Structure 1
């Protein structure tokens, strides 16, 4: 059954057709939405819609919805599990969360004799970026290979937990004996890292980047190294969706507009997220600005469907659920397809598009269009509404030194990992300086060491790279 057929037959199926002119018009429809504001992948499914009052623009007010009153309720959570609890209890209609807690949502509904459906992806990475592992900033640990026998904390049954298990397995280790994996929320883990009570922490968006940005941790592993897709999305109570399919589509049209607004002005909306959540705008931009760590992709790509299958099987392996869930019916793309259609967008074209949020920019130094995105370096200067773009790290670092000598404060510098294309905080990266003075950045020192051998270059840290860049530019 397609969405239009569903919309046309809902009243008949529910036995409400005879009430259209009467009681139905006096109905108050609750729209209770569970959000995760600090999980910034969910911003376009909650925070931005709420803060910009986007939902009201799309709610239906004709046909069976003529004279209907809407009771829109927003409730914020720090993780997916309590959202699921309230959805199963009938206190919430919509909820946004990642693939692992989303799968637990589906199994919890099924165990209660009910059903929920995953209606859209909000943001994700087909490679797995977004999850990551960090260590204390002064730790000698440089990679996962150094974690044998160490204590690693992670929020259990999260997407990051799945990533950690895959990373441990890739080392040929037994997760029960070769490492000590304990459960910790990101809030607790932050303090534990500062106090050196744990050796490492694995977590989901945005904490593997937030902790390093705030100066007390260093990322040693990105989920993209597992090549295992991960995403956040939105679920809805299936009975609610059958009763009010137009409301579900209206919500998704608001998601689409929030997504478009963020793409048009990522700096502005990164700062709005910071204002509401306290998550630094620089971290929000790292994920969702041009060339970001994740794509705000609303389509059900095969990789995200597979991620849901993997999540369910992993959760069963962890004994977090014993319920079999049919992904073919759990994921329902009819509503998002209809929302795309009503918004004048081509869902099938978007489904085929795997590109990151594009960067179309001119070099801040030369004014020439940037064509090689592998070397692009971005600088966000305090007090400036837009991030500056440079064609190379060398030019950008020299510009940063000039800005800082002139009394300007630089909020953040971003580079692209030379081997993977991942967007990185420049001060967290390793650099290879080749014979011509060109700089290539890397998340992992082992990758930098390998590349240095290829080009007969030297591996340096951020401070040295800045100094070398300034001297090289001055010598021209």
Structure 2
């Protein structure tokens, strides 16, 4: 008489056991480069705002899944690749050159990785740059012949350096001495004047000048060599869990939306996590920034990856190529855009900087010309003030100081390239009509003054000239 209840108990217990056995724990392990601040929307912000948890699927085959989310931060792409090959990471965030080496390493290991999205970059090349010691007399790259230049070898900045050398018609083996140095080594070397120049990637060509011991003399946009940072995933993982890959990209899209809406807030968050000052973070993430946050695979970015493959062969860092058509996949990012209600094709065609939609904080006029814009961030204030011109910004700065307020940073846009500049490190031309334009390089300012009339001034000189005329 007791057999039936016992049997029922056994069946219930067995059912729970089967259910427990079927419940799956899926690892989502992501390798980030927090200090490489243009990767923030693919790592740091997603992690700090817990955006991945928001989008991971919990229905269908994922109904009873438990997610093991793991974040690991690195200073460069190479160790991320090593961790992926060792099976310890599923996703990796890195630049074009390390990304190619990631793909090659996977193939050599009998596996495959795929580049699933761009996070931030520049079709013109901004982000990579060359700096010299702050006290150096050198004002342009053309003056580096016979000099010693350091660079992280096999990096995207290495490619910039080689292209800049070629543009001068120099032999990289004879006309300059190129040595390998990571940014943490190059910084002290610049301070001690042990090297003549240093080429590097985000954020060091801006960070070193901001910290006062270097001066930028070449921006990647002058060489017109596209550059990007993006995200890769293990191909087998993506094939098994495509919905998780899309969820990660949905999180990246939201991170991008958040920082576009509140660039000051998130520049402060990036600074808190990385130690890279918010003033530098805003150079990249604020409106009219140095790079575009762009999750689409523009033809220029595809070509950038293809060029990276060939350059790495030239540098003898690899003897193996990659099929660009299978290494880059827009399948997942297109689905993420679709689920987010965004038009991928429209974004693919958009090459504009993050726009600035604002009125001049001094005059109230609508800001129309992005290459004339200047901005002021006041100490202890949450938002940046925008101005239609450097002249208006200089006048506003004087008024702020009269009120006892401190200028945290003054930004200007390069009149020719349109890239955002640290105003105190820039050159200016003031014409006879009083119009002021900003430039990264003195030679550019000289050329503008010659063609348009006016006087070349440094930051203090330009400000004094504007204030003296009022």
Q: TM-score, normalised by structure 2?
A: 0.95
User: What residue number does 2:172 align with?
Assistant: 175
User: CA, structure 1 residues 25+59, in 2 after alignment: closer, same or farther (shift >3 Å)?
Assistant: farther
Please report how far the alpha carbon of residue 400 of structure 1 lies from its aligned counterpart in structure 2 after TM superposition: 1.2
> Which residue, out of 284, 289, 301, partners 1:287?
284
Matched, 1:134 2:131: yes
Contact 1:401 1:466 in 2 (8 A): no
Aligned to 2:366: 369
The partner residue of 1:244 within 241, 246, 258 is: 241
SS at match of 2:198: strand
User: 2:7 matched to which residue of 1?
Assistant: none
Choose the corresponding residue for 1:72, options 66, 69, 72.
69
Residue 455 of structure 1 deviates from its aligned partner by 2.3
Aligned counterpart for 2:311 among listed residues 311, 314, 318: 314
Query: Corresponding residue for 2:43?
Result: 46
Select the residue among 14, 24, 29 that pairs with 1:27: 24
Supply the distance in 1 between the matched residues of 2:84 and 2:269 (Cα, whole angstroms): 28
How far 1:164 sits from its partner (Å)? Answer: 0.3
Match of 2:197 in 1: 200
Indicate the structure (1 or 2) with the bigger Cα radius of gyration: 2
1:23 CA drift (Å):
7.0
How far apart, CA to CA, are the structure 2 residues paired with 1:295 and 1:329? Answer: 25
Residue in structure 2 matched with residue 330 of structure 1 by the alignment: 327
Structure 1 unaligned blocks of 5 or more: 1-20
Please say if 1:110 is aligned against 2:134: no
Per the alignment, residue 185 of structure 2 pairs with 188
Whole-angstrom distance in 2 between the partners of 1:30 and 1:354: 36
1:269 and 2:266 aligned: yes
- Root-mean-square deviation (CA), in Å? 1.0
Partner of 2:90: 93
Deviation by residue 1:291-339 (Cα, 9 ceiling, x = unmatched): 0000000000000000000000000000000111001000011000001
Partner of 1:465: 462
Separation (CA, whole Å) in 2 of partners of 1:43 and 1:60 = 23
Does residue 1:389 correspond to 2:389, yes or no? no
Q: Deviations 1:210-240 (Å, cap 9, x if unpaired)?
A: 0001111100000001111100000000000
Give the match's secondary structure for 2:366: coil
Specify the alignment match of 2:376 in structure 1.
379
2:393 counterpart of 1:404: no
Query: Residue 404 of structure 1: CA displacement?
Result: 2.2
In structure 1, C-alpha distance between the alignment counterparts of 2:444 and 2:116, rounded to whole Å: 39
Post-superposition Cα deviations, 1:67-94, rounded to whole Å, max 9, x if no partner, equal 1110000000000000001111111000
Q: How does the TM-score come out when normalised to structure 1?
A: 0.94
Match of 2:161 among 160, 164, 172: 164
DSSP 3-state at the match of 1:218: strand
Moved over 6 A (4+): none
Please state whether the residue corresponding to 1:415 is helix, strand or coil.
Answer: strand
- Distance (whole Å) between structure 2 residues aligned to residue 380 and residue 25 of structure 1: 55
Match of 2:12 in 1: none
What does residue 4 of structure 1 align with? none
Q: Secondary structure at the match of 1:178?
A: coil
Which of 447, 450, 453 is the equivalent residue of 1:450?
447
Q: CA deviation at 1:438?
A: 1.4
Counterpart of 1:374 in 2: which secondary structure? helix
Deviation of the 1:24 alpha carbon: 7.5
For 1:6, the equivalent position in structure 2 comes to none
- Partner Cα separation in structure 2 for residue 79 and residue 150 of structure 1: 27
Q: How many residues align?
A: 453
Question: Which structure 2 residue ranges, 5 or more long, are not aligned?
Answer: 1-17
1:218-233 to structure 2, matched below 5 A, reads: 218-233=215-230
Aligned to 2:434: 437
Deviations 1:350-385 (A, max 9, x none): 111111100000000111211122211111111111
Separation in 2, partners of 1:273, 1:25: 40
Q: Any idea what SS the aligned residue of 2:364 has?
A: coil
Residues in 1 aligned to 2:103 and 2:339: alpha-carbon distance in whole angstroms: 28
| 3-state SS of 1:284 partner | helix
Query: d(CA) in 2 for partners of 1:192 and 1:32?
Result: 36
Counterparts of 1:373 and 1:294 in 2: how far apart (Å)? Answer: 14
Work out whether 1:427 is the aligned partner of 2:441. Answer: no
Deviations 1:170-192 (A, max 9, x none): 00001111111111111111111
Equivalent in 234, 252, 273 of residue 255 of structure 1 = 252
C-alpha change, 1:113 and 1:426, in structure 2 (3 Å) is same
